[in-house]
Amino acid sequence: MEAIEELAVQPCTSSRYLRPFRLSYRQNGTKKFWDFMRTHDSVSILIFNTSRQCFVVVKQFRPAVYMCEVERHHPQVFQNQDKDSFPSLENPLPAVVGVTYELCAGIVDKPGLSLEEIACEEVLEECGYRVSIADLRRITSYRSGVGVTGSRQTLFYAEVNDQMRTSGGGGQPEEGELIEVVEIPLAESMKFAYDETFPKTMGVIFSFMWFHNNIAPKLPKK
């Protein structure tokens, strides 16, 4: 996962996932404009393994996170953003600065499938557990990237056990996915959530808090 080589930044003239636009409008008599991107909505799933009392999350390299760290250390990288070429990334940072912990998730890009069906597919592909729609509990939906994309993510909860695991997960290599499945023990989950040495998404923090408020009090006492 951390064997990153031959890094090169270049202009993005087209994308399967992002479409940039500029909206001009008048608000309270003032003329304004705002640049934004359209992208897919998504689903995410908080997975709790009842056999081992742990959360199942994923770990993967995120180029956007990596490049934020690169710019923080080498601000000159994006200084030529309006030109056709960028400086080469000599002596790049270690790839680990772009690795994050996240909930199992996926984009909504299959019109024939419901959000629940897409969520079940993602749990199987990324984490190796076979769940049904009946195993899912919808927690809520929310907007992410409100200043840039405004896309909607729908969060589900699923309980699994060791017998439901049919593979090691890891995503779909043919689509370029390289995902590591990570287990976070329930007893250590809130410490993990607030430990900034483990880069993570807000979805991890929020869902762990939701679990401790709504599910943990109903668990059998040891």
pLDDT band (50, 70, 90) for residue 81 = low
Amino acid at 88: S
Determine the pLDDT at residue 83: 59
- Whether the per-residue pLDDT at 22 is higher than 70: the answer is yes
Residues in the chain: 222
Answer whether 154's CB lies under 8 Å from 43's CB: yes
Count of the separate structural domains present in the chain: 1
How many Cβ atoms are within 10 Å of 74's Cβ, its own excluded? Answer: 16
Determine the pLDDT at residue 173: 72
Considering the domain boundaries, does residue 7 fall inside one? no
Considering the domain boundaries, does residue 12 fall inside one? no
Determine the pLDDT at residue 86: 64
Burial 77-113 (b: 16+ CB within 10 A, else e): beeeeeeeebeebeebbebebbbbbbbbbbebeeeee
- Provide the percentage of residues in the chain whose pLDDT is more than 70: 94
Considering the domain boundaries, does residue 6 fall inside one? no
pTM above 0.85, yes or no: yes
Mean residue pLDDT across the chain: 91
**Which structural domain, as residue segments, surrounds residue 180?**
19-83+90-218
| CATH code, domain carrying 68 | 3.90.79.10
Question: Residues 104-139: pLDDT tens digits?
Answer: 999 999 999 999 999 999 999 999 999 999 999 999
> How far apart (Å, rounded) are the C-alpha atoms in residues 15 and 38?
11
Considering the domain boundaries, does residue 69 fall inside one? yes
Determine the pLDDT at residue 188: 98
Considering the domain boundaries, does residue 70 fall inside one? yes
Question: Residues 25-52: pLDDT tens digits?
Answer: 999 999 999 999 999 999 999 999 999 9
25: helix, strand or coil: strand
Considering the domain boundaries, does residue 8 fall inside one? no
pLDDT, mean of residues 161-175: 87
Which residues, other chains included, contact 12 with Cβ-Cβ below 8 Å and sequence gap of 6+? 18
Range in 12-16, 134-138, 170-174, 196-200 the model is least confident about: 170-174
> How far apart (Å, rounded) are the C-alpha atoms in residues 137 and 18?
29
